[in-house]
Structure 1
Amino acid sequence: MAQNLVGRITVGEWLDQWLAAKRIRKSGISRYETDIRIHLKPRIGHLRLDRLRVSHLSDMFTAIADGNAEVLEQNAQRKAAVAELATVPWKGAEHRARRKAMKEAIDAMPAIRRVTGPTTGLHVKATLRAALNDAISQQIITFNPAAHVEIDPVRKPKALVWTDERVEKWRGSGEKPSPVMVWTPQQTGAFLDSVAEDRLYAMWHLIAFRGLRRGEACGQPWSETNLDAHPLTVSAQLVQDGWQVETSEPKTDSGFRVIALDDDTVEVLKGHRERQEADREEWA
């Protein structure tokens, strides 16, 4: 009887059990939960776990791609309607009635949504593969279809430098040449000059000159920042999970590292710490 009950478990039921038993950092759980809630349970959650096949997963990813096309079309329709509304004058009873009808039509349209890109698809596949591997280790199933389904590859975007020509084209069209754009030293200097009086200038300076990631710079403790001998030890970072922010260790061993501080950066950090101490005394 127990074996029969195990055999009847659905994919959705197993994913719920698997997620509840995971013991990983909160941000990782959030990623798994999103994949399961948004993609896996709605599309394959009803299937029996022991009858899940590669074809089911191929159909799922095809449906996700088809959904992307629908989302893009609906987004375009809503944007076109909003653009048309902006051309209708405010004055006049006829115009007001037309604007009201157009607003009601726009409100009835689906909200602007993001498409599910290749990276998200890879995350969904990885989540399911991990869950099914655990099911195999518990001898609930013997085959992992997520290890064999083929999906679109993820191509890392090529980083491009913001040359004068690319800046000019971007200002004219509003389109970035690449999702990953790199400032020139002159552009970095111009940015730092523009935020010289910002309360977080030390963070911007640290990121620009010493290469810390955003979460690392935000979470860097003074206890690991030696302003006398000039080493900075990266051992913590701030991680955002929805609306919550928490401190965690770097994800990998390579994330733990010691960075040498130049004299200018040390002076900037000393000034920042003095301002923090003054603020603490003022607000105490």
Structure 2
Amino acid sequence: MGEQTAYTPRRSVLYMPSSNERALEKAKTLPVDGLILDLEDAVGPDHKESARDNACAAAASGEYGNREVTIRINGIGTQWHEADLAAAAAAGPAGVVVPKVGSADEVRSLVAGLEAAGAPEHTKLWAMIETPEAIFNVREIAKASPRLAVLVMGTNDLVKELRADHVPGRGPLLTSLQLSLLAAREAGIAILDGVYNDVKNAEGFEAECVQGRDFGFDGKTLIHPGQVEPCNTIFAPSDEAVADARGILEAWEAGDGSGVVTHNGRMVENLHVDIARRVLAVHEVVSSR
């Protein structure tokens, strides 16, 4: 099984329409872990080229601090795709997000396109998983290239393709979410949960964040700045989890390699120690933000 070597915080990753220069400016002040500067759904046909210029200038500016800046280009087969891919590669963002990736061959083709356009080594591919084809191929997609760093769930498109409904608990999507998570974890790459559409329903949003966290997602994609702070809190280890992790490590070290110890009446073995170490590593990174 693959394993990420260093934790990159992606608790909150916010879509921003690149046609809106005020929004791009505001993003510099938001407490968000990552940004997806969008050239696709949030931008009308008449504004695609100016949005491309805005996104590439923002990504190359170095003005977003420790926020991970990515660009979502238009999908394979659209009239804007090739120009978007070349321009994004030249701008050198942290990632190029591609909608509706359906196969491992598409991943390899996209990576070849990035490299042909001179993308720097740090510019990774983020693949959106949002069709039935992608779900059936997600294991191969996740392992298709070392340049693929993140899977992004496109839950709105999945709901549409399945002819399902958005319902609390997301029953119609559970199979797709869990298969994608399995694929990401096997490949050792990150995976982000899909967006929550009702920006006025704070309670529903927080419940979906908790569900995504409990499933094992690294974070959640967002559509409104007001969603950032609750998302950051939910996807970071709680004070109780941090204290418990520290207690587990102390008990383990006190056991001096005996193989099994107890902490608060619970049996602790190697796997619990690994989980505790990850909790503390995540806590250390997010506390420094």
Establish whether TM, by shorter chain, passes 0.5.
no
- State which structure, 1 or 2, has the greater radius of gyration over its C-alpha atoms: 1
TM-score for both structures, normalised by structure 2: 0.25
Higher share of residues assigned helix: 1
Higher share of residues assigned strand: 2
